[in-house]
Structure 1
């Protein structure tokens, strides 16, 4: 379903860019590059030159940004990969930006180039760019996992890494997210992954093995991660307190 929606959105964005003399940008451009994103925009996103008038553009059907892009920032009908990633990280909220950054790295965008873009970023959103890049990780398996990690990052005392094998020579499994110090294994639990009896049996045995070997296993659904992040954060805060014998966290909630 996501692939069908992505193709439809990208086609609409390309059509709008062609009709209004612009280029596909931001999240729409990320999708055109086949980078996974946290959420498909309600409207296609395009950039048009500053001198171009908005008259005749249906702003209820397309999101328009007016600015002059340099020739080396445009590749055909879309912004280049560097321009696309920096735009997304500059203007998106942290969880959505992290999803784009992880995806870009996963699809081969050079990590050193991403770091260079962050180091040279100036103006509005540059602080967010550097924050996202500091946490971006190509090991993230998918958007679901990236979004869950974004919540984890907001929890004091919790330091997770994606896709860390557990058990050494006596390999148990590779959870989505792991805090080695706290012995916490955090899973982005997909219904699709458990769509077969074999998948359910394998994961149930794996979770049991983690617990038997002293790991706290937490499982979160797509709906909770994407729609109820405050609940996810609350559970994580309580889990960290339990694992460290600490008190309740009084820091501001997840945004």
Structure 2
């Protein structure tokens, strides 16, 4: 039973778990003295006959803060499979009344989590997916992309809002609110405002907003060069009907002799210099 437990839990075990498996305190100490087990922190051990994986590192970090500790932020995002690389340090959320010393490689955040915001995955307490997405998105430079991918595949915007509102006042809460607002129905209009700001900051001239072309109004137009710029919100808003309507619109504009450039909210927030470079390149092309 003990070997099965160690295999299923990345080679990490606590003293409480070892005793529940039938080992006495002395038996645990003998394993430590012999080098078979390594003490990670007081009461948390790692078996020396296997590699210390990223999963073992995160599990040991969380368990070192007690049974009510919960992996959160980017640590939870990695555990849920939302990110490719495990973070350093490991973020752990503990109850407000916890009294643990700081540990190297761990960032502890003290707050009481609602039971709705905690799940167990592979024997580890982690923040539930909606709260994980909301918190992890503001820990990364490309957090908007992380949230957008999650909205396409895993969660709904309403779930993210509920998790956010249950946890107002936490670290990163204002930034999370801005991302959620941008991800809502106003994402396209927000993208238009971002594009206008980029054009002004880059000192482009000769452009107009909501310019009529081919029976439609394009978001940004350079009438002299016949360049139309269309902006989109986040990818999760797109469905088959919207996709078809956008392509019909784009074809009508192109058939009117205009070059069409399309950018998303993520392009404008994550890669603004690339957006400016592509617009500048289009303006330099002879017509």
TM-score normalised by L of structure 2:
0.46
Q: Cα gap change, 1:17/1:135 in structure 2, threshold over 3 Å: closer, same or farther? A: same
Q: What's the counterpart of residue 60 of structure 2?
A: 15
User: Which of residues 261, 271, 280 is equivalent to 1:183?
Assistant: 261
Give runs of aligned pairs for residues 1-255 of structure 1, distance below 5 A.
8-21=53-66, 22-36=69-83, 40-55=86-101, 57=102, 59-76=103-120, 77-89=125-137, 91-93=138-140, 95-117=141-163, 122-123=168-169, 125-136=172-183, 156=198, 159-160=231-232, 162=235, 182-184=260-262, 233-243=272-282
Q: Cα gap change, 1:29/1:154 in structure 2, threshold over 3 Å: closer, same or farther? A: farther
Whole-angstrom CA distance in 1 between matches of 2:195 and 2:77: 23
Q: Cα gap change, 1:155/1:88 in structure 2, threshold over 3 Å: closer, same or farther? A: farther
CA contact (8 A) 1:155 1:233 kept: no
Task: Tell me the SS of whatever aligns to 1:183.
Answer: strand
Q: Cα gap change, 1:53/1:117 in structure 2, threshold over 3 Å: closer, same or farther? A: closer
Q: Cα gap change, 1:185/1:131 in structure 2, threshold over 3 Å: closer, same or farther? A: closer
Question: Pairwise CA RMSD of aligned residues?
Answer: 4.5
Gap regions ≥5 residues in structure 1: 1-6, 138-148, 170-179, 187-228, 246-255
Render the CA deviation track for 1:79-108: whole Å, top value 9, x for unaligned. 11222223224x425x43213312322332
Structure whose alpha-carbon radius of gyration is higher: 2
Q: Give aligned pairs, total.
A: 172
- Measured after TM superposition, the shift of residue 119 of structure 1 is 6.9
CA contact (8 A) 1:36 1:103 kept: no
Whole-angstrom CA distance in 2 between matches of 1:136 and 1:8: 35
Structure with the higher fraction of residues in strand conformation:
2
Query: Relative contact order (C-alpha < 8 Å, sep 6+): which is higher?
Result: 1
Render the CA deviation track for 1:7-32: whole Å, top value 9, x for unaligned. 94333212221232111111111111
Q: Cα gap change, 1:154/1:45 in structure 2, threshold over 3 Å: closer, same or farther? A: farther
Q: Cα gap change, 1:23/1:103 in structure 2, threshold over 3 Å: closer, same or farther? A: same
Gap regions ≥5 residues in structure 2: 1-51, 185-190, 200-228, 249-257, 265-269
Whole-angstrom CA distance in 1 between matches of 2:143 and 2:132: 11
